[in-house]
Amino acid sequence: MSNNPLIELKRVGKYGAIPFNEITQEHFLPAIEHGLQEAEAKLETIKNNPDKANYDNTLRAMQELSEVSDIASTVYFNLMSCESDDEFKQLAQEIAPKLSLFSSKMISDPILFERVKSVYERRETIGLTSQQRRLVEKQYRGFIRNGALLSDEDKQKLQEIDVELSQLGPKFGQNVLGATNAWEKHVIDAEAVAGIPENALKAAAFRARQKGYKEGWLFNLQIPSVLPVLTYCSNRALRKDVNSAYSSRAYKDDFDNQEILKRISCLRYKRAELLGYKSHAEIVLEERMAQTPETVMSFLDRLYDASIEPAKMELAEMHAFARELDGIEKMKPWDLIYYAEKLKQLKFDYNAEELRPYFKMENVVSGIFKVAEKLYGIRFNSVDDVPRYHEDVQVFEVTEADESYIGLLYLDLFPRETKRGGAWMTTFQTQGYSYGKDRQPHVSIVTNFTPSTEDTPSLLSLDEVTTLFHEFGHSLHGLLSNVNEAALASPNVYWDFVELPSQIMENWATEKETLALFAYHYETGELIPDDLIEKVKKSKSFNAGSNSLRQIGLSLLDMAWHNGNTCDIEDVYTYEKKAIAKTSLLPPLAGRNTSCSYSHVFAGGYSSGYYSYKWAEVLEADAFQLFLEKGIFDSDTAAAFRKNVLAAGNTEEPMDLFVKFRGRKPDPDALLKRVGLK
């Protein structure tokens, strides 16, 4: 296609930004096909090179096969998650198999493997840097883990599996988004919405008017709509409707994911078996800090043993409270968040909605930038000359204190029907040397926060503020990466280490020194009161057992689908019920299912890795303790964290990097101690 900005590799301005304003849906497939043809030709050149294999003519050359396909696929899959319609998403069924087939062919090519193996065997004697050696070792293992030693027949089987998986993942995610967007509930009875905060009702009324309703409130399955209902609505019937709809997305409806997820799980098992592993979990965990499924299960068992009795006591207390308050004889899933919030209000004398007026979105964003400046000396400046893929997106230039350029940060904070649910950080350009240039990172934070209405600005909940700090931690990981080889740059590290930078950042969200930077009432300008901060901090351990048990259950469900042969599983509901039975304190209800909307593991990168959230919590609880001892803005501690964690990428083993920062291995009880479970 002529005038294709993805083929021409057009970049905008001094930042070399992606020209989103010039890219249309029609550009992606031709660009990727062009890029793959380019890559095929370069591969042949590498294979036919008469010179002895070395780092530059083999390893680096293999990383730089086609900048066109790299950029086009990166932009496509990022936009598929945050700004796409059904037609756009459908392109994945063509794009993903092409990319997967090329990748499978390349990494199973015997001539390429012999060249990589030759460099690998001489890696200690041919003058490689430490990063180059690590990348050679990583690439060599990648060939082995992707079928280099298989017979031609088995290589073909592996390619077929990879191509099918590349289609199923996007389809799973598309179904979840479709199911999320398909459900709405219009309410006109004021009594039915009793208890829902005014801010949430204004948003629901605004939503109703946008959809053509002359009166009432419109609720959907986006989190800013779901949570206020489940947390505050005294109408149990509405809570049930919303909770049931949310908990049954893509299960026995027009977007049913049951057959897709069973197929994904089975194919992952067959793939692992073909490569000589006992399970998908075994092959995944080989390149994680945990290393083995046994370690993960032991870790989860340890957390379970510490969490189960406190969780039972918390539920019993909550049930007694609900019975006394409203005569509830049997607790249901749609009661848990509601009565937990009521009980927390009683115990700690505050309502989470009291915090919202102090968390105007613009102020919170300014606040996280000030936190980063105090910790790392970096600055964020809004820029208007960078193209955006949607009008909601904000772009910031990130610089060092001396104004030297670091990278770009995109912020895309509000829900829309073209965006999947949840919150995540992603990259449009990774830091490091590639295609003959030292690249600066372009990273993006995407969330689904409470939007503004006609008469109220966007006011965030504490959970949303914490989420923003979390994703900002990921973005700092990407922005402050400082490696030579782009393939080793942050945040491309082991997945049970990648959550350390994000989860440690959450701690700053409720510190008094941090809140003084941004938590001012949006109408009066008053700083958030000290006593309210203290109540929030004291309540952090509230329902610690239940919260821990929920995360353990999700981790066990992930492992159940990936730590063994699941090809004979027939009934998704029954299998899920059994997998999480020991963490389910309420009887399971028919018509509800988590697996069918579990995008983290079936449409994302967390298969056999959901445990990493809890694993990283142990790391960050111990790491933040050092900040508490030295001061949360201590420059020396921050500099050590930046150097040994944020900047280091995948240049060393994660445990070695943690030890360099902390001076020792992590305390396994750090998390349990912090939340009062030990």
> Could you tell me what percent of the chain has a pLDDT over 90?
97
At residue 82, the 3 state secondary structure works out as: helix
Residue 471 is among the residues annotated as catalytic for this protein: yes
Interatomic CA distance for residues 673 and 678, integer angstroms = 5
> Mind spelling out the 3-state secondary structure of 129-153?
CHHHHHHHHHHHHHHHHCCCCCCHH
Q: Which two tokens stand for residue 292?
A: 């083995």
Largest CA distance in the chain: 83
Cα 127 → chain centroid: 38
- Residue 73: pLDDT band (50, 70, 90) is very high
Give the C-alpha distances (Å, rounded to integers) separating 407 from 77, 401, 480.
21, 13, 9
- Residues β-bridged to residue 445: 411, 425
At residue 218, the 3 state secondary structure works out as: strand
The helix or strand, by DSSP H or E, that contains position 281, with its residue range, turns out to be helix 280-285
Domains in the chain: ranges and CATH: 20-107+109-149 (1.20.1050.40), 183-246 (no CATH)
Only one residue has tokens 């927390």, namely: 344
Above 80 in pLDDT, residue 193? yes
Query: Model confidence over 532-577: pLDDT tens digits?
Result: 999 999 999 999 999 999 999 999 999 999 999 999 999 999 999 9
The helix or strand, by DSSP H or E, that contains position 219, with its residue range, turns out to be strand 217-220
What pLDDT sits at residue 553?
A: 98
Interatomic CA distance for residues 276 and 273, integer angstroms = 5
| DSSP H helices in 480-580 | 499-506, 512-515, 530-538, 544-562, 572-579
Give the C-alpha distances (Å, rounded to integers) separating 652 from 360, 495, 579, 618.
40, 14, 35, 20
**pTM beyond cutoff 0.75:** yes
What pLDDT sits at residue 678?
A: 85
Mean pLDDT of 320-346: 97
What pLDDT sits at residue 204?
A: 96
Q: Which two tokens stand for residue 85?
A: 């319609």
Interatomic CA distance for residues 200 and 340, integer angstroms = 19
- Report whether 366 contacts 621 (CB < 8 A): no
One of 33, 314, 464, 471 is an active-site residue; which one?
Answer: 471
| DSSP H helices in 183-235 | 198-210, 223-232
Residues 6+ apart with CB under 8 A from 3: none
Mean pLDDT of 82-92: 94
Interatomic CA distance for residues 173 and 165, integer angstroms = 13
Interatomic CA distance for residues 283 and 269, integer angstroms = 10
Interatomic CA distance for residues 59 and 485, integer angstroms = 11
Cα 675 → chain centroid: 23
- Report whether 140 contacts 116 (CB < 8 A): yes
Mean pLDDT of 436-449: 97
Mean pLDDT of 44-68: 97
Residue 110: what residue type?
P
Query: Model confidence over 264-281: pLDDT tens digits?
Result: 999 999 999 999 999 999
Query: Model confidence over 658-673: pLDDT tens digits?
Result: 999 999 999 989 999 9
At residue 428, the 3 state secondary structure works out as: strand
Mean pLDDT estimate for the chain: 96
The helix or strand, by DSSP H or E, that contains position 477, with its residue range, turns out to be helix 462-479
Query: Model confidence over 107-153: pLDDT tens digits?
Result: 999 999 999 999 999 999 999 999 999 999 999 999 999 999 999 99
- Residue 259: pLDDT band (50, 70, 90) is very high
Interatomic CA distance for residues 357 and 353, integer angstroms = 8
- Of 162, 158, 217, 215, the closest CA to residue 184 belongs to 217
Mean pLDDT of 48-55: 97
Above 60 in pLDDT, residue 1? no
Sheet holding 424-429, edge to edge: 379-382, 394-399, 405-412, 442-446, 424-429
Above 90 in pLDDT, residue 2? no
Q: Which two tokens stand for residue 327?
A: 């005569």
